[in-house]
Amino acid sequence: MRASNANPVLGDERLEALTTWDSDWAGLRVVVVGIGVSGFAAADTLIELGARVVVVDGRDSEENRYKAQTLGIVGAVDTVLGAGATDSLPDVEGERPELVVTSPGIRPDTGALAQAVEERVQIWGDVELAWRVRERAGRPTAEWLCITGTNGKTTTVGMTASILQAGGLKAIAVGNVGTPILDALRDPVAYDVLAVELSSYQLHWSYSLAPLASAVLNIAEDHLDWHGDYANYQADKSRVYAGTRVACVYNAAVEETERMVEDAEVQEGCRAVSFTTDTPYLSQLGVVDGLLVDRAFVPERKTSAAELASVRDTGELPTRHTVENALAAAALCRAAGVEPVAVRDGLRAYEPGAHRIQPVATTHGVLWVNDTKATNPHATAASLGSFDPVIWIAGGLSKGVRYEELVAAHAGRLKAVVLIGTDTAGLLEALAAQAPDVPVHRAGEGLAEDDGAAVMRRAVEISHGLATRGDTVLLAPAAASFDQFASYGARGDAFIAAVTQLVEGLGGDEGERER
């Protein structure tokens, strides 16, 4: 790690001076690209700060029109919706903008953003804006614990918030998890700590962050269609470590995360702390005899470790990656001064969200598991590695990734594969090459391609016909959902509904069949 106390020079004196809520934001000309959850929060905040705002969004939906109307009520703002709205960078009250604030997910090659780059107009994400306004006269400034990674972010940020709360701190999970950071900063509750989930999209447009502690949980190919290539994706993920003050937390089993820490420009005194599911070395958190232990944040760490929790405290179905998530959360919270007992209490109190390694039912000795949130091969590998034998329901939008490595690593545990989704060519090719003896069934044959619910019901029916006692039917698609569902959550809900209907039709475990 390299010590650094300087943020990048962005080249605009007025913008560089905007470092608190109480800075001079009045009259600043800003274009906000996107009116989704984050974009709406950014526009609302900027209006409150006194900026002059234009919002553009390519979707002219009823929801977006309602949001535009709401922004118009709270302050003067122009909103442009519909096709072509984001193709170019508009004026703000007849003058060129001084700043662009973009929503996560808006591609950098979108016309308005590309034009901003050409005209040398700074582009911030909503997270950069939030960091700039986090300090406010009359309110304590919350510390930030920042978390990113290809998989496990939402679980880890939730565990982190729960541990902080168990330690007596006012804390909330924010960012990519769903609650915009800007909303938390404007909440009447004055939080002590924010557990911040950051996507690669958000980090791409962040420059000034200096969190108390930060973590990259893991890294694997994802969102290559947005970032262009894996190197760019890694570079954006690594930005989470820049400016970190107390601890850079990384996964000892993932060399790339260690290299990110080594290359990071951090503040003087920041430590590198890793986590492992094996016995920990000095400055690590790890596992000993079924216990999570800390050899990083204890004075006697050279000779002993502090007991934090049991592996059983990490979830209903403890898996290697849930233990890793718990260790990362524990490391971040210990960096913030939380006592060991709060780690245990926080993990026990944590209620995982739906759709991540979620047991749905057990019928006729078959376990049905919903992991619809496994939208890439890396997340799916963690799921597949937790069960054996598996009937695997997979498929959807591949986002430019390949599946050969995933299939080769887990072919031995696959009893059958049931395909959903419309973009299955890459998965079929990998199965044919790496698991030629595994039966493959296409759930969508003869059904309307866009009827995701019907396809999922067929997938569950096929899986039931294949499963015997001891099998796990696992929905872990390794792909995005938008080809057949409104979201990964809708895909998971369809799976749960289909399994529930199946179980009710079978009348529980009566009439078990052996094959």
Q: What is the pLDDT of residues 215-231, one digit of tens each?
A: 999 998 777 777 778 88
Where exactly does CATH 3.90.190.20 map onto the chain?
Answer: 358-505
Where exactly does CATH 3.40.50.720 map onto the chain?
Answer: 24-128
Q: Would you say domain 134-349 falls under CATH 3.20.20.70?
A: no
Compute the distance between CA of residue 173 and CA of residue 194 in angstroms, rounded to an integer: 6
> Could you tell me the two tokens for 22?
């109480």
Q: What is the pLDDT of residues 137-157, one digit of tens each?
A: 999 999 999 999 988 899 999
Residue 64 CB neighbour total at 10 angstroms: 22
In the DSSP assignment, the letter for residue 9 is: P
> pTM to 2 decimals?
0.80
Contact (Cβ atoms closer than 8 angstroms) between residue 355 and residue 231:
no
Compute the distance between CA of residue 288 and CA of residue 307 in angstroms, rounded to an integer: 9
**Identity of residue 391:** I
The arithmetic mean of pLDDT across residues 106-130, rounded, is: 96
Polymer length of the chain:
515
Compute the distance between CA of residue 273 and CA of residue 270 in angstroms, rounded to an integer: 10
Q: What is the pLDDT of residues 147-198, one digit of tens each?
A: 999 888 999 999 999 999 999 999 999 998 879 999 999 999 999 999 999 9
Compute the distance between CA of residue 342 and CA of residue 35 in angstroms, rounded to an integer: 38
Compute the distance between CA of residue 14 and CA of residue 403 in angstroms, rounded to an integer: 48
The arithmetic mean of pLDDT across residues 120-148, rounded, is: 97
- What helix, strand, coil percent values describe the chain, rounded to 5? 35, 20, 45
171 φ, ψ to 5°? -140, 155
CA separation, residue 245 to residues 4, 17, 271 (Å): 10, 22, 8
> Could you tell me the two tokens for 120?
């040398």
Q: Would you say domain 24-128 falls under CATH 3.40.50.720?
A: yes
Beta strands 99-102 and 122-125 are: parallel
Q: Which of 351, 413, 345, 409 is nearest to 381 (CA)?
A: 409
Compute the distance between CA of residue 479 and CA of residue 400 in angstroms, rounded to an integer: 10
Contact (Cβ atoms closer than 8 angstroms) between residue 46 and residue 30:
yes
The arithmetic mean of pLDDT across residues 311-340, rounded, is: 93
413 φ, ψ to 5°? -100, 0
Q: Which residues contact 486 (CB under 8 A, 6 or more apart)?
A: none
**Residue 227: what pLDDT?**
75
The arithmetic mean of pLDDT across residues 238-266, rounded, is: 97
Q: What percent of the chain has pLDDT over 90?
A: 81
Where exactly does CATH 3.40.1190.10 map onto the chain?
Answer: 134-349
Q: What is the pLDDT of residues 65-98, one digit of tens each?
A: 999 999 999 887 999 999 999 999 999 999 999 9
Torsional sign, CA 78, 80, 86, 87: negative
Contact (Cβ atoms closer than 8 angstroms) between residue 45 and residue 128:
no
Q: Which of 381, 402, 405 is nearest to 392 (CA)?
A: 381
In the DSSP assignment, the letter for residue 75 is: S
Which CATH entry fits the domain spanning 358-505: 3.40.640.10, 1.20.120.420, 3.90.190.20, 1.10.760.10? Answer: 3.90.190.20
Pick out the residues of the known binding site for ATP: 149-155
Pick out the residues of the known binding site: 149-155
Tally the C-alpha atoms within 13 A of residue 232's C-alpha that lie toward its C-beta: 12
